[in-house]
Amino acid sequence: MELKKDAISLNSVIIYSISAAAPAMCIGGSMGFIMGGVGLAVPLAFLIATLVVVLISASYSQLSERYNSAGGTYSYIRRVFGPEMGWWVGWIYIGITFTVGCVGAIFAIYLCSLFTPLPLWLGIVLIALPTFYVGWKGIQLTTKGLVILWLVQTALMVWPAIAAFNSQAPLLPDVGKQIFASSWIPSLGSKGLAMAVLLCIWSYVGFETPAYLGEEIKGGSKAVKIAIPVGSVAIGITYIIVTWLWVSSISSENLAKISGSGTAIFDYCTLINYPLGRWLITISVCMSCLACWFSFVTALPRMLYDMGRTKALPKSFAKLNRHSAPSVGLIVTMILWLGAALFGAYFSVDTLFSLMSSFACIAYALVCAAAMKDRWGGRGLRSFFIDKAIPTLAIGIMLWMLSSMSAGYLVAVGTWAFIGALVIVVIKHRKGQDFFKQVEL
């Protein structure tokens, strides 16, 4: 049994990309931490992050033309840099797969903030069960409700933002400055801005979802090349506009109270005595979490599937159920998510999305490097900008963002990367030096 060809349309896969980024969930779950780096200049951080992601999307689009595969990032790196590096970036993406569990934690935290008698673990179960069902039923079922979920969650996030502005603007000393200046001036310098942009990056992870669905999209690689940049721009515009609406009404006094909170805008509605806003935000975030996991539960197991069929993982990962869904990859993904969601809900959700941003930057930097290497021989002005200048600029900005990480995160990410390299050495020692070269399709 193979993946279904022409199973989904271009429009559907763009919605996958936007839903995986989950605008309402990311704003609701990380805005307080982003404020910790830039104060009210959250729209600026998202603007810079959007530019970075658009630059990265150019490399994904270039690679998808030649290496259209369910393995996505793993497949691109494997084809350009060889199977060992492919396995290593697959290992990095397994780290991303685990940290996506933070979505379940955010769902539970918001749900239990509104319904306090509910235990956090029950909130995680309530999102995990429908997600597993949707993933098991295959790719076509997951496309049907995502458009509605996206539109409704955005409306429910915008409505209370406008209401909060209308109620608080008369109390601000200079509304014009608040809207047009404070919202775009970082308060903690370049390092705080770098940290904030790095935190923003986790909010875009999933924009590359079309790369993992390339074998099943009508139009194949051409559709992937369109879907990734279109999804990136749509995601970025949503983040910039919605966060600008929210910060335009937040005073310095209230900023100090909600900065660093995992439920910042929920807390803000409490501060300004706006109970309806708490309800709307919670519904919006929970819907966004569902849409996010619905998208990722389709995409990420397909990378594991590709690793299984190239023998980079046990061949059981290449098994598909009767709905053409990678069953073993799905089960492993859900187990990783449950573990991460429990950790995030009970200990530290921001640790998870900080690690996700870091892992993603490493993977994206390698994709940019692969795009350069793959087309290095191209000539002309267009090739210079698309194949060399743009990837180089994207890598430089990502290194700048990674430089803002604390020592603890650097150690954690470095340890995970080292373990992946060590596993390669062990496999080659036990299976032979040519093992990875023998697993090419």
User: Do the beta carbons of residue 432 and residue 225 sit within 8 Å?
Assistant: no
Question: What are the backbone dihedrals phi and psi of residue 11, each rounded to the nearest 5 degrees, phi first?
Answer: -60, -40
Closest CA to 181 of 240, 247, 125: 247
pLDDT at position 438 is: 56
Q: Hey, what are 6's tokens?
A: 């022409």
Closest CA to 147 of 42, 11, 30: 11
In this prediction the pTM is 0.92
pLDDT at position 375 is: 87
pLDDT at position 140 is: 63
* 326 DSSP β-pair partners: 320
What tens digit of pLDDT does each residue of 124-164 get?
999 999 999 989 987 765 566 677 788 888 899 999 999 99
User: Do the beta carbons of residue 16 and residue 209 sit within 8 Å?
Assistant: yes
The CA distance from 49 to 199, in Å, is 9
Instruction: Give the residue-averaged pLDDT of 236-251.
Output: 93
Query: In terms of pLDDT, which residue wins out, 141 or 71?
Result: 71
- Judged by DSSP in three states, 138 sits in coil
- The angle at the Cα of 363, spanning 315 to 352, to the nearest 5 degrees, equals 90
User: Do the beta carbons of residue 23 and residue 288 sit within 8 Å?
Assistant: yes
Domains and CATH numbers, the chain: 10-439 (1.20.1740.10)
Q: Which of 38-42, 161-165, 383-387, 428-432 has the lowest mean pLDDT?
A: 428-432
Reported confidence tier of residue 254, pLDDT bands at 50, 70, 90: very high
User: Do the beta carbons of residue 71 and residue 307 sit within 8 Å?
Assistant: yes
Q: Hey, what are 338's tokens?
A: 């449950």
Q: What share of the chain is helix, strand, coil (3-state, %, to 5)?
A: 80, 0, 20
Q: What 8-state DSSP symbol labels residue 185?
A: S
Instruction: Give the residue-averaged pLDDT of 45-56.
Output: 95
User: Do the beta carbons of residue 394 and residue 368 sit within 8 Å?
Assistant: yes
Burial of 409 (0-12, 13-18, 19+ CB in 10 A): middle
Q: What DSSP string runs through 89-112?
A: HHHHHHHHHHHTTHHHHHHHHHHH
What tens digit of pLDDT does each residue of 368-412 get?
999 999 988 888 898 889 889 999 999 999 999 998 888 899 999
Given a cut of 70, whether residue 206 has pLDDT beyond it is yes
The CA distance from 425 to 417, in Å, is 13
- Judged by DSSP in three states, 219 sits in coil
pLDDT at position 421 is: 94
The amino acid occupying position 19 is S
pLDDT at position 141 is: 56
